[in-house]
Amino acid sequence: MIREKETGGQKMQMLKVHGSNNDFFILDEKNLENSITEDELVTLAKKVCDRKNGLHGGADGILYVTAGHAGVAGRMRVINADGSEASMCGNGIRTVARYLSEQKELDEFKIETMHADLEVKRAADFAPNVQAFDAEISPVSFAAADLGMHIEGKTELIDDYIPQLSDTLKFSAVSVPNPHLIAFVSHDVLVGPELGRIASYLNNGENPIFPDGVNVSFVEIQKAKQIFVRTYERGVGYTNACGTAMSASSLMYVLLYPDQVKKNQLISVFNPGGMVKTCVHQRKNGSYWMSLIGNATFVANVKVDQSAAFRGDFTAAVWDEKNEQDAYEKFVVQLQRGQ
């Protein structure tokens, strides 16, 4: 549906997408009439993603797609809503995988990210008109240095207390490679205020434990091989879902609850925005990686005037719906009925 009139200025085309309702604007450098600077990219992310005054309800971030080096179909950079850059995005990479797959007519290929070239492939649709992709989540590290974690006497943190954060919860820290702090909790704690309290402290203002911030997730085990993950993201706040968090949580589930789930077994991961499947793998050298399988939904094509977007003026934006969201919402209703 064309909602608003076009302007005559420099056009910038973006694609609104989501994975488990963790939503983004894909911005392909090919769709910019004028190339943008790093500062402009940060400004754009803050303006476009703003939930109150941003573009059509804002988003959790911008996925900036460029050509990438030889051997990959493209490169993805993840700019959070606050303008900070993340090394990876699990829900986002599935949508970028679909975008590149359709452009290049490929079903299996690699995408360059900040720290690794990651394998992606088309997966079976989750439901009619709900396309899905499978993405490699890697590299994994438990090292405090890779996590930007500072806890006296600790080089890693596995199912352990951080007294400054909570007397009752135990946390595990893992980078995949963006940093995650994970606690397995009861249902009451999952839906209660503790996640917001702890994650706000670690992300909004200075703190000595994770000075660069950290994604914080609470995980409830619903039954064997089925978990629910609620995440407060660094650079964003509460999200409907965080793909890297669900992957990191699945890894900790396999490591901490071996009686319930093992490597190479599929795990259903529910989240406030839907559901994904994960699978934890281990390479011969001992390193872990995860498969993250979930929807890659295209919501709308958007055209905006480039300089107006930098000012946060989206009054003349052209919003062209893709008609996939209804199918996704039906899928979520079916999930809730089946849960």
Ligand X SMILES: N[C@@H](CCC[C@H](N)C(=O)O)C(=O)O
Is residue 305 a contact residue for ligand X (CB under 6 A)? no
How many CB atoms lie under 10 A from the CB of residue 194?
Answer: 19
How many CA atoms, within 13 angstroms, populate the side-chain half-sphere of residue 302? 26
Shortest distance, CB of residue 84 to ligand X, whole angstroms? 6
Is residue 250 a contact residue for ligand X (CB under 6 A)? no
89 is catalytic: yes
In whole angstroms, give the CA distance from residue 254 to residue 174.
13
Is residue 134 a contact residue for ligand X (CB under 6 A)? no
Is residue 111 a contact residue for ligand X (CB under 6 A)? no
Q: Is 286 left (phi over 0), alpha (psi -120 to 50) or beta?
A: left
- Compose the 24-63 pattern: x for residues touching ligand X by CB under 6 A, - for all others: ------------------------------------x---
215 a known binding residue?
Answer: yes
In whole angstroms, give the CA distance from residue 335 to residue 274.
8
How many CB atoms lie under 10 A from the CB of residue 168?
Answer: 9
Q: Which of 111, 181, 185, 242 is catalytic?
A: 242
Shortest distance, CB of residue 81 to ligand X, whole angstroms? 8
Q: Which of 234, 298, 300, 309 binds ligand X (CB under 6 A)?
A: 234
Q: Which of 15, 42, 89, 296 is catalytic?
A: 89
244 a known binding residue?
Answer: yes
Q: For residues 244 and 291, which CB has a smaller minimum distance to ligand X in the complex? A: 244
Is residue 244 a contact residue for ligand X (CB under 6 A)? yes
Helical segments of the chain, H only: 38-49, 90-104, 144-147, 187-191, 194-203, 243-256, 306-310, 325-338
- Compose the 196-215 pattern: x for residues touching ligand X by CB under 6 A, - for all others: -------------------x
Q: Among the candidate windows 50-58, 112-120, 228-236, 257-265, which touches ligand X by CB under 6 A?
A: 228-236
Is residue 235 a contact residue for ligand X (CB under 6 A)? yes
Is residue 295 a contact residue for ligand X (CB under 6 A)? no
279 is catalytic: no
How many CB atoms lie under 10 A from the CB of residue 325?
Answer: 17
Structure token digits, residue 185: 């909790």
Q: What is the 3-state secondary structure (H, E, C) of 37-60?
A: CHHHHHHHHHHHHCCCCCHHHCCC
Is residue 237 a contact residue for ligand X (CB under 6 A)? no
Q: Give the start-end residues of each E strand in 179-310.
A: 179-184, 215-223, 226-233, 237-239, 266-271, 274-282, 288-295, 297-305
Q: Among the candidate windows 32-40, 128-136, 150-158, 230-238, which touches ligand X by CB under 6 A?
A: 230-238
DSSP string, 134-176: EEEE---B--HHHHT---TT-S--SSEE-TTT-SS-EEEEEES
Q: For residues 243 and 305, which CB has a smaller minimum distance to ligand X in the complex? A: 243
Q: Which residues bind ligand X (CB under 6 A)?
A: 22, 60, 78, 80, 86, 89-92, 178, 215, 233-236, 239, 242-244
Q: Which residues are known to be catalytic?
A: 89, 242
